[in-house]
Chain A
Amino acid sequence: MRHRSKDRALFQVLGYLYLGCLSLACLLPLWLIFSGSFSSEEDVIRHGYELLPRNLSVAGYKMMFEAPEAIILSMTVSVALTAVGVACGVFLTAMTAYVIQRRDFKYRNVISFYIYLTSVFTGGLVPWYIMMVNTFHMRNNFLALIIPLLFNVFYILIMKSFFRSIPDAIVESGKIDGAGEFTIFLKLVLPIAKPGLATISLFIALAYWNDWFSAMLFISRDNLIPLQLFLYNLVNKAEALNNLAGKTGIPMTELPKETVKLSMTVLVITPIMFVYPFVQRYVVSGVTLGAVKG
């Protein structure tokens, strides 16, 4: 008994030390970014990111909210996109992963290979783009934002390994009770796989939330631009302009700069801080198999 509590104490000391260092490494930058976003442009350029703003300024935020309707609209697009994307994506991912892990499904490896191969060989951006636009008419519609991220090889294979850890006996018991395959999947398997599902949902949600690329390619209408593209445009146009402006004699207008970049980061992170704890509940607490079996 004594032996056990001693090694637990050792574990805890080492563990917390490790976590402490890590969280410092993660929180400090966050604070610097936060503080920088409230600094004046001049200070950020002259002195870099500092613990406290020398001169308080909200110019970065002001610039971002110059057209508040635009940013609110793009936020709405992002939220809708994430919600729809997660709902469809998780269901389809789980269903696919479930099938290709079933040992009694003969073609599981063929299909796994079929799916995996698409992550090794791609036709390249241009052919894919031509196909999406000319054949499937993915331009300026919501589906053009959903489709590119709907399935992801990585998530399917991870989900497959989560399902693997569920004993075959559960499927068998379902079959004995006379349940159909789809019912077994929906009613017996999915509930047990909750930690895995929660993780994958989170990943898919983040993928949709962070995505600007599909929007950049397929969207030219203002009312379908997600938040990340909106912000991406603000950040990157400064750099692109600087590369070109001088050489072409094209006059530059006043550009968003360092502090805008920081305020935008704060804006992107904030919603996550509020939503994440809710998702997290499933990941942390998990489910014991024993309870389900009994």
Chain B
Amino acid sequence: MHSKSSLIREWTKNKVLFLMVLPAVLYYFLFSYLPLAGMVLAFKSYRFDSGIFGSPWAGLRNFEFFFKSGKAWLITSNTVVYNVAFIVSGLILQLLVAIVVAEAAGRYVKKFMQTTLLFPFFLSWVVVGSFVYNLFNYDFGSINGMLKYFGIGSVDFYGNTDYWEYILVFFNNWKYIGYNSLIYLAVIVSIDRSLFEAAEIDGASIFQRIRTITLPLMIPTIMILLLLSIGNIFRGNFDLFYQIIGNNGLLFDATDVIDTYVFRSLIHSQDIGMSAAAGLYQSALCFAIIMLSNFIVKKIQPDYSLF
């Protein structure tokens, strides 16, 4: 009763705000919440003639393949570990780029850097995959060419799991550094210049200024981006792993993530119920972790939470 009357009060007070958010609410209702009913496919064995709801129930059978192989734990932990490595290294490197570019002197340097760093973002993973192949392959790879030149023997990268954690982390950062640092850069340039000037007059060094003014002002954005990444921590970047590692079984133990495993297992049968099951597994885990982290963040500083 109480909440109903408060809804009406809120509506009269903020009618325009309600209307402004209406398109988004409608959009998500139509294009996200309605199809959500399809999640039920994870528990069905799908038939084309009976449709989603008419198909017979399959119980938990669609989840079996995932646990049958005994790989569920390995690929789930791989997915998380890789994502953590991507998030941490990405955060540091991107922040550094944004700060250095913002402080750098020349306008042309700024422009040049931004454009340059954005290039990798435009290379499709297919091209990145063949590029990596050209660097590391045994016959004519550039790295092996260099090693040979310096009298060190060739290294069989593609037959050895030791290197790929680093290679993958490197290329993931390489591809997204320019793109993601743009967000941080936009935050820095929005900072009120007079704050910097005041600090300079007080005799603060550039490092002090960055630590005491720039970074604290960036924390809300950093937190949002962190939370968004954490919310996807159980999803692997399929293209990254698939295009760089491909079907090379020798590396799977070190590089297989949920998405590549599911793809490989189901490419033959194209089973809709089973892929829905794998998706639901990931969604449930993501949901749990984002609720938890958002809850913690909210406890500490409500402003930084996502919702």
Contact = CB atoms under 8 A, between A and B. Distances in A.
Interface residues of A, number: 106
Contacts of A251: none
B283 interface: yes
Contact of B104 (A19, A206, A277): A19
A114 B28 contact: yes
Interface in A236-264: 236, 258, 261-262
A262 B127 contact: yes
Contacts of A235: 124, 126
A229 B20 CA distance: 34
A157 to B, nearest CB: 6
A32 interface: yes
6 tightest A-B contacts by CB?
A: A127-B38, A286-B189, A123-B35, A123-B38, A112-B307, A118-B32
Interface stretch (A21-29, A62-70, A77-85, A216-224): A21-29
B122 interface: yes
A181 interface: yes
B12 interface: no
A268 B122 CA distance: 8
A151 B27 contact: yes
Contacts of B290: 116, 120
B36 A123 contact: yes
A105 B20 CA distance: 12
Nearest to B303: A164
Interface of B: 6, 10, 14, 16-17, 20-21, 23-25, 27-28, 30-39, 41, 46, 52, 96-97, 100-101, 103-105, 107, 109-124, 126-127, 130-131, 134, 137, 140-142, 174, 177-179, 182-183, 185-187, 189-190, 192-194, 200, 203, 205-207, 217, 220-221, 224-225, 228, 231-232, 272, 275-276, 279, 283, 286-287, 290, 303, 305-307
A147 B140 contact: no
Contacts of B231: 116, 119-120
B38 A126 contact: yes
Contact of A105 (B14, B96, B116, B179): B14
Given A109-B307, A262-B127, A289-B192, A120 B275 contact: no
B192 A288 contact: yes
B207 A284 contact: no
A169 to B, nearest CB: 13
A5 B41 CA distance: 65
Is chain B's interface secondary structure helix, strand, loop, or mixed overall? helix
A126 B41 contact: yes
Given A158-B221, A162-B187, A202-B182, A123 B20 contact: no
B303 A206 contact: no
Contacts of B35: 122-124, 127-128, 130-131
Contacts, number: 279
Given A116-B306, A127-B35, A284-B185, 16 more contacts: A4-B200, A95-B21, A96-B20, A99-B20, A109-B307, A111-B21, A111-B25, A116-B290, A122-B283, A151-B24, A162-B186, A195-B187, A195-B190, A196-B186, A283-B185, A284-B110
Nearest to A36: B134
A123 to B, nearest CB: 4
A46 B134 CA distance: 11
A180 interface: yes
A55 B119 CA distance: 26
Given A95-B20, A165-B190, A7 B182 contact: no
Contacts of A48: 134, 137, 140-142
A122 B104 contact: no
Nearest to A49: B134
A122 B186 contact: no
Nearest to B19: A182
A128 B276 CA distance: 12
Given A46-B140, A113-B307, A116-B307, A102 B34 contact: no
B174 A26 contact: yes
Contacts of A153: 228
Contacts of A115: 24, 28
Given A122-B279, A165-B217, A158 B224 contact: yes
A114 B228 contact: no
A150 interface: yes
A161 interface: yes
Contacts of B46: 126
A106 B224 contact: no
A126 B42 CA distance: 12
B36 A277 contact: no
Contacts of B306: 112-113, 116, 157
Nearest to B16: A181
A190 interface: no
A262 to B, nearest CB: 7
B127 A22 contact: no
B264 to A, nearest CB: 13
B298 to A, nearest CB: 9
Contacts of B217: 165
A7 B206 contact: yes
Contacts of B131: 29, 32-33, 49
Most buried by A among B41, B107, B174, B183: B183
Given A120-B286, A164-B220, A127 B116 contact: no
